[in-house]
Amino acid sequence: MKANTRSASGALLMLVVIPAIVGLLACMPVPIGDPERSRIDPDITGVWALLDDSEGPGFYAFEPYDKRTWLLTGMPIEEGDDADLGDYNLESYAELTRLIDNVPVGSDGATTTELTIYKTWRTKLGGVWFMTWEPKTVFGDKSFTPDVWIVFRMDKPDENTLELTILDDDLFDGVEETRRAYERVVKKNARSDELYSEEKLRLIRVRPEHRGFFEKLSREVLQ
């Protein structure tokens, strides 16, 4: 990953990526795929948990905006005044369940002060599914168009797990910064390890009986 990309990615990380994600993202200067030609996958719609004990837990909610795209909302789980998330090894859903059962949502328990929003869509290139996240809270100019997009390879090892591997940018050196040009590189190298960084988000589907915790947490931001 190039140094200038690390700097730009770090700035984006601070502004639009929930703090639970640590690491500098390889951001693209153009999106991959056309959201007007995409279709959402109903199996992805819903609330997902990001579980990583070293980086901190969080949630992502994929809500259909239309038949083509999702409105994606992300938020971290933060410690309130009397809470200690260090008591929970939040690398497993079992530990998240234990936290939900024992820690109330509120200023003294589990809380959150940050909310991030993306427009999100899928694209299939070279036989591989990709997902593009378009930040809706950072804009390069008054046209409300962002300067960067985050692009992932999308894998579903099982019905309750979503793995998103961030694309590296090394293969795009010297490539014209247009969507078509970048898509040609992605399609050609879709099955090559060189296209991907080591950064990966592993999301676990939140069970229906635990969605109330997420809903209460989301109201903490509004308060």
CA pair distance 5, 120, nearest whole angstrom: 22
Q: How far, in whole angstroms, is CA 179 from its chain's centroid?
A: 21
Q: How far is CA 114 from CA 79, 97, 117, in A?
A: 13, 22, 10
pLDDT score at 107: 92
Range of the domain at 45: 3-222
Q: What is the pLDDT of residues 66-84, one digit of tens each?
A: 999 999 999 989 999 998 8
pLDDT of residue 137: 67
User: What's the domain count of the chain?
Assistant: 1
Those residues whose C-beta lies under 8 Å from the C-beta of residue 142, and which sit 6 or more positions away, are: none
Q: Give the number of C-alpha atoms closer than 13 A to the C-alpha of residue 29, restricted to the C-beta side.
A: 13
Please check the confidence at residue 142 and state whether its pLDDT lies above 80. no
